Amino acid sequence: MPIQGKNFIGYSLSAQNTDNFQSYVPAQHTYLPEKFHPATPREVENAMQLAERAFEEFALLPASRRADFLVAITEEITALGDQLLERAQQETGLPMGRLQGERGRTVNQLLHFASIIREGSWVEASIDTADPDRAPLPKPDLRKMMIPIGPIVVFGSSNFPYAFSVAGVDTAPALAAGNPVIVKAHPAHPGVSDLTAQAVVKAARRTGMPEGVFSMLYDNGYEVGATLVKHPVTKAVGFTGSYRGGMALYKMAMEREEPIPVFAEMGSVNPVVILPETLERKASELAKSLAGSITLGAGQFCTNPGLIMTVQSPSLDNFQEQLLAEMAQIAPATMLTQGICQNYHKLRDEALQQDGVEVVYKYESDAEGNNQAQATIARVEGQVFIDNPRLQEEVFGPFSLLIVCKDMEELEAAFQKLKGQLTTSLMADADEAARYPKLLRLMGSRAGRFIMNGVPTGVEVNASMHHGGPFPATTDSRFTSVGRHAILRFVRPQSFQDWDEKLLPDELKSHNPLGIWRLVNNEWTKEAI
């Protein structure tokens, strides 16, 4: 049963609330029996006030205590076992293998941030000691580090029920940094959200975290989310979803009396460029890897390769034939929600109706009514693509547009039309790539992650990953939602000038009680001053 009260606003089984909603089962086009209720204004206010009070205590806890909390969350998630996996499969239609892998990634993300905050260098401690004898003016003692900013509102995403949801890529670093989190659960998987939230609450209680360090609220519309973004207690927002949704939240945040950052990951078509010599040498290999990437997870990845760009060549027909043969071997998959499936087919059909667009592959099936995605490949000439901005927009699902340019100059002109992307991918060896420096500059300028000889799907969680990109892929290209540096979204630098040693945070004390790396008088050291 869901937990009511401390740390977590759960759901009610009251049938009297006409706004109650149920879990949709996309593979069966039916609903599960439990009823979830959108949070009331009183529940929203209660969660925000609890978070505000919790911040005063939580931000001051030693990093080791917060790390224990994160580890405890992983233990509680793991303890849910098959119950969590089976509920996710019901609510999303995703295969069990994918869900097992995503659960493992979610656990590893939490452990990753627990390790980071225990090690300590993420606070970027910097110390410049005083020099009272410096002329013409004495030099003050200045010490700087990253500090948490306050309650963070996190919007769960539809396409990752674990890794980008209740205890995912926004919640984990926000808690690690010392910020309370208020999650607005995604209505596409409320049962999974409920189970995960219970795990977080149990972990909070086990490790003695302050009341209000975590809350979760439901809504099957937009009112609760808007209230959370506008609430004066909120200090930042994490969001993964559509361009329309992300920009709506961003505008709300900018119109507040105190504007706050919205770290929104929105849309991306993730163009893949294949240079001609590589197309000739690796047509079969490229066709297989791209077909798998286009259809992975029914195309419901933010890094799905929506554009394949190349030039006319004798090898092109062979590549296209092999790509379509590979696509034909992949069965259709269930999409996450009825709305996502309907929107996919709507946007795909709009793209196919554009002048000059030729359908070269479409999976024909009578199962579309059961939220099965019809994978589709279309083809268009480079100049048509250049002249039609509609073809440069994302179609969220297993769809890719093959853009055939007459030469490399036209390909570069076509690429220049593209806006910011999470990824760009170049299929070429080093010698061939080196002959097109302008193309390399263009591709790099559009991308958060620039890939060579690989497909964009698959996001490694480590310090060198940047999962972000220039607008409109995200609202702030300087930050990543994945990997070590994701924590920097939810902190700010603060300098301490001429403070008494006893009052300084441990990270900035001269004797270095935490044994972390610090920049002391322009030299990195783990030693005491």
Q: What is the pLDDT of residues 124-178, one digit of tens each?
A: 999 999 999 999 999 999 999 999 999 999 999 999 999 999 999 999 999 999 9
* pLDDT > 50? residue 39: yes
341-351 per-position pLDDT tens digit: 999 999 999 99
How far apart are the C-alpha atoms of 198 and 208, rounded to whole Å?
Answer: 15
Give Cβ neighbours of residue 149 (< 8 Å, ≥ 6 apart). Answer: 179, 235, 236, 490, 491, 492
* Whether residues 99 and 216 fall in one domain: yes
Single out the catalytic residue among 302, 394, 405, 412.
302
Supply the range of the domain harboring residue 174.
25-266+480-488
Averaged pLDDT, 65-88: 98
Confidence of residue 18 (pLDDT cuts 50, 70, 90): low
Confidence label for 369 from pLDDT (cuts 50, 70 and 90)? low
In which residue are the tokens 């062979």 written? 318
Q: How would residue 184 be classed by pLDDT, with cut points 50, 70 and 90? A: very high
pLDDT of residue 15: 35
pLDDT in the model for residue 16? 41
- Shared domain for 330 and 238, answered yes or no, is no
Q: Say yes or no: 407 and 347 in one domain.
A: yes
For the cut 90, the answer to whether the pLDDT of residue 3 exceeds it is no
**Residue 95, in any domain of the structure:** yes
Look at residue 250 and tell me if it is in a domain: yes
Q: What is the pLDDT of residue 386?
A: 98
Task: Tell me, yes or no, whether 461 lies in a domain.
Answer: no
Q: What is the pLDDT of residue 5?
A: 37
Catalytic residue, chosen from 52, 102, 265, 412, is 265
- Tell me the average pLDDT across 28-45: 94
Mean per-residue pLDDT, 70-92 = 97
Q: Residue 362: its pLDDT value, please? A: 87
Do 257 and 277 fall into the same domain? Answer: no
| Mean pLDDT value across the chain | 94
Q: How many angstroms separate the Cα of 182 from the Cα of each of 178, 405, 489?
A: 13, 48, 16
At a CB cut-off of 8 Å and minimum separation 6, what does 1 contact? none
In a domain, 282, yes or no: yes
Same domain membership, residue 106 and residue 62: yes
Q: Is the model's pLDDT at 320 over the cut of 50?
A: yes
For 82-130, the pLDDT digits (tens) are 999 999 999 999 999 999 999 999 999 999 999 999 999 999 999 999 9
Say whether 318 sits in a helix, a strand or coil.
helix
Q: What is the DSSP string of 23-54?
A: -EETTTTEE-S--B-PPPHHHHHHHHHHHHHH
For residues 276 and 258, state if they share a domain: no
Predicted confidence (pLDDT) at residue 2 exceeds the cutoff of 80: no
Q: Give the torsion through C-alpha atoms of 176, 181, 186, 192, to 10 deg.
A: 60
pLDDT value, residue 365: 64
4 vs 515, more confident: 515
* Residue that the structure tokens 């893949």 belong to: 272
Q: Is 405 a catalytic residue?
A: no
Q: Which amino acid is at 282?
A: K
Number of domains in the chain: 2
Query: Whole-angstrom Cα distance, residue 190 to residue 33?
Result: 12
- Give me the mean pLDDT over the 343-364 stretch: 94
Domain of 198: which CATH number?
A: 3.40.605.10
In a shared domain, residues 157 and 303 = no
- CATH number of the CATH domain containing 330: 3.40.309.10
* Residue from 271, 249, 214, 223 nearest 402 by CA: 271
What does the block give as tokens for 158? 């539809």
Residue 306 and residue 426 in one domain: yes
Q: Which residue has the tokens 């799907």?
A: 457
The reply to whether 9 falls in a domain is no
Annotated catalytic residue 409: no
Whether 294 and 346 map to the same domain: the answer is yes
d(CA 201, CA 212) in angstroms, rounded, equals 10
Are residues 223 and 166 part of one domain? yes
Torsion angle (degrees, nearest 10) of CA 47, 48, 49, 52: 120
Residue 173 lies in a domain: yes
Whether 182 and 101 map to the same domain: the answer is yes
Residues 318 and 441 in one domain: yes
SS3 for 164? coil
For residue 507, being part of any structural domain is answered with no
Domain contains 111? yes
